[in-house]
Amino acid sequence: MKKVFYIPLIIFTAMLMQTSCNSNTAESANALCKESNAPFGAPEFALYKTADFLPAFEQGIAKKKADIQKIIDNPEAPTYANTIDALELSGRLLDKVSCIFFTLNESDANDEMLQTENSISPKLTELNGYIFMNEKLFDRIRTLYDNRATLGLNEEQTIVLENYYKEFVRGGALLDAENKKKLLDIDTKLGLAAIEFGSNLLADSKAFQLIITDEKDLSGLPEGVRAAAREAAAEAKVEGWLFTLDKPSCIPFLQYADNRDLREKIYKAYYNRGDNDNKYNNKEIIRNILDLRLQKARLLGFDTYADFKMDVKMAKTPDAATELMNSIWEAAIKRASDEAKELQALIDSEKGGFKLAGWDWMYYTEKLRKAKYSLDENEIKPYFKLENVCNGAFDCATKLFGLGFAKRNDIPLYHDSVKVWEVLDENKNHLGIFYGDYFPRQSKRSGAWMTNFINQVNLGEYNRRPMIVNVCNFTPASGETPSLLNIDETLTLFHEFGHALHGLMTQTHYPSVSGTNVKHDFVELFSQIYEHWAMETEVLKSYAKHYKSGEAIPDELIEKIKKASHFNSGFETTELVAAALLDMRMHRLTNYDNFDCNEFEKELRAEIGFIPEIEYRYRTCNFSHVFNSGYAVGYYAYLWAEVLDADAFELFKERGIFDPATAKAFQHLLEMGGSEDPMVQYRKFRGADPNPQALLRRRGLID
């Protein structure tokens, strides 16, 4: 699944600057605290030890507190400069350590890092309380907020001030002492519970192994899939062929394996992650998280956690988000039901003698795709070599925005499979650094996301350009065969690179509104719209080249891809919408005393008419977006933003996909981050409100 990895804004709003440690800093933490000697101040990973992080965090927190106390103790009347600017520039060491640690903890973790996360989480929560429950600090912000119309602020400064005021109120600033203590306790417990959820999910996922020793059980699997499984077995020091729950391993198995019993085994293992009644079971953790979130919402004056979260989204209310989901659901479930009938007919024609089940869907979909469109994924993949797809994504950014990409071999890497580029703007000036981390490993969680090592800032004397990371889990090279992507993986690469562009191109002053620090249901516009270019004929011709011959993808294959582009759209839409509804409905409950997530899934399935042959994209026990990331009451955002991206790309199609004027207008949306009202600026770009019908057209659910 494509997603963005977020570091909590309320902790890390300031810029990432290199700072020197005091002379009494523990020697083990010095590498993290010293200024970097690498180009552009890039992290020097080889110098960091895992043991460095905890003392570096502790010093960073102490320095952050000292910076905050200096603001509080300032005897001068509050001004924007001595309060808001000072807040934005506080805690630079903590920002540095946090960005490095949390990025590595997601992409190259070890047991010691996980222990460090458990140790540091309560300290970061306590820091939040120290900041956001401080009455004197809030009084300074409230004074500025109450007088904001007289301060001569520009739009960015106004939004930053309003964000701080809201964040303080939502952080408990208006609560009495007793309730502040309760909120801090809740936040501490929530932080630890989220870590436990994620640790359980990772452990349960990595514990599963499907080891095949009889070659006949590989029937139907392409040679490349077999070779990768053989290499995985050798690496794990087991005999035969090894399949795991990493998507590059389990998805091809579900698509091609003739052995139905083994398909069922790996399918159930994937969807039951975190729900296996073992020591990694997440059910009670989920109930606890939901109950704590409700307590938090009630303390802050909201009826439900959904109401609390939606109060700062573009959609504003749970009803508005649900209305959008319901409007999509009707067309999607009808299409999915028709698709199920078509697959059942195929099973019957082969005298299968069984009813279509979830573990049959991908297998028979591939057969039907081939029968209807003469389209075989193994015919497509040779044209989508990873390096070529990267170049295609870069080339689109060059044509749209004039960007340049220069491979760098002098910037330190945290893993030898990571690649790094310097990004240049249209005037050949340094814009930022981009890291690409594309392959699965035991130390990396599943999925795909974007994050930063350094945040952009241009405030006073400080001017830093961002360092952005894309993390994915694509099929690695095997033997003499390079990494070859399928269509979904190709779209994932473009998607995450769209997020990267959002982070790289930002031109704000204040770090708290730079890059992807925007309203949650706005952020996916920039990733999802970029997917559109990936499958445009003109673009395909430029990058989709056979890895052996170098020949461009033929017109007839492009035509097949386009004809099949809406194939299986009912399945793809319902699994997404159902998961978004699951997220929203769970958080609209007002009591969790007897909550059972599995029963809740069944009840919702019956209520909305979700057919049994399709599973929620994520079941509750492995819904890491909701329970171990920033997407709680926010999974609908993919759909909300899809209305925007589908509507926006229709304008590009009308004027030309690389039309300079349209690209320039869209560039402003990328550059503004969260410094301007997103809907106001979108209307300026489009000349009208976004049209929800564009989403249905994009998915082929209406003409």
How far apart are the C-alpha atoms of 158 and 166, rounded to whole Å?
12
Q: Token pair for residue 59?
A: 């010093």
Other C-beta atoms lying within 10 Å of the C-beta of residue 276: 17
Q: Angle at CA 147, nearest 5°, toward 144 and 153?
A: 75
Q: Token pair for residue 603?
A: 């009840």
CA dist list (Å): 643 to 487, 682, 691: 22, 12, 7
Other C-beta atoms lying within 10 Å of the C-beta of residue 678: 19
Which listed residue (117, 496, 572, 601) is catalytic?
496
Q: Angle at CA 125, nearest 5°, toward 121 and 131?
A: 145
Residue 299 phi, psi (nearest 5): -60, -35
How far apart are the C-alpha atoms of 333 and 684, rounded to whole Å?
34
How far apart are the C-alpha atoms of 369 and 187, rounded to whole Å?
48
Helix, strand counts (H, E) of the chain: 28, 9
Q: Indicate the DSSP class of residue 471.
A: E
Supply the DSSP string of 306-337, one letter for each residue: HHHHHTTSSS-SHHHHHHHHHHHHHHHHHHHH
Helical (H) or strand (E) element with 294: helix 283-299
How far apart are the C-alpha atoms of 329 and 594, rounded to whole Å?
29
User: Does the annotation count 496 as an active-site position?
Assistant: yes
Residues in the chain: 703
- The 3-state DSSP class for residue 213 equals coil
Which residue do the tokens 């007002």 mark?
Answer: 590
Closest by Cα among 143, 155, 38 to 96: 38
CA atoms within 13 A on the CB side of 645: 25
- The 3-state DSSP class for residue 147 equals coil
Helical (H) or strand (E) element with 454: strand 449-454
Beta strands in 219-269 (DSSP E): 241-243
CA dist list (Å): 479 to 231, 340, 435, 659: 9, 38, 25, 42
Q: Indicate the DSSP class of residue 82.
A: I
Edge-to-edge strand list for the sheet holding 419-424: 404-407, 419-424, 430-437, 467-471, 449-454
How far apart are the C-alpha atoms of 518 and 526, rounded to whole Å?
11
Q: Token pair for residue 501?
A: 């562009």
Computed on alpha carbons and rounded to an integer, the radius of gyration of the chain in Å comes to: 25
* Residues 55, 56, 57, 62, CA torsion sign: positive
Contact between 210 and 242 (Cβ < 8 Å) = yes
Q: Angle at CA 129, nearest 5°, toward 127 and 135?
A: 120
How far apart are the C-alpha atoms of 122 and 185, rounded to whole Å?
9
- Give the residues across from 392 on adjacent strands: none
Contact between 387 and 407 (Cβ < 8 Å) = no
Q: Token pair for residue 77?
A: 């009347």
Active-site annotation, residues: 496
